[in-house]
Every structure is written in C-alpha cells, then in structure tokens.
Amino acid sequence: LADREHFDILISDIAMPAMDGLQLIRDLRKKKGLEKIPAIALTGYASQNDADTAIA
C-alpha cells in the first residue's frame, strides 16, 4: 500500500498479529520518501518500556 499511495502520517497499533506496529514504522521509514513520516503508535499496554521503545 505504501508503494502505491501517499500518506501524510502513520497511525498504528503496537500489538498486531503479524508484525508489531513499531516494526511497521521502522520498515516504512526505510522506504524512499517515508524516512521522516510522522507516526503515532497506539497501544492498550501501559508499560514504561513500551512508551520508551515507541519514542526511540
């Protein structure tokens, strides 16, 4: 989808079945033109580690 469409922002759940949302953000930011796409990671988990990982 990212290869065919233009997006201004990425909003993703962290806990997804096939790939976690943080890995999705990392993978998309490796694509040309998406290196600096703003991203919001949502989660029902509330650990400090999850927050720290998302911010990094």
By CB neighbour count within 10 A (0-12 exposed, 13-18 middle, 19+ buried), where does 19 fall?
exposed
Helix (H) or strand (E) holding 14: none
1-55 residue pLDDT tens = 666 777 889 898 888 888 888 888 899 899 988 899 999 988 887 678 877 877 7
Q: Give residue 13's pLDDT.
A: 86
Q: Give residue 20's pLDDT.
A: 84
Phi and psi at residue 40, to the nearest 5°? -120, 125
Does this model's pTM top 0.85? no
Q: Give residue 2's pLDDT.
A: 65
Chain-centre distance of CA 18, in angstroms?
A: 14
Going 28 to 31 to 34 to 38, the CA torsion angle's sign is positive
Amino acid at 19: M
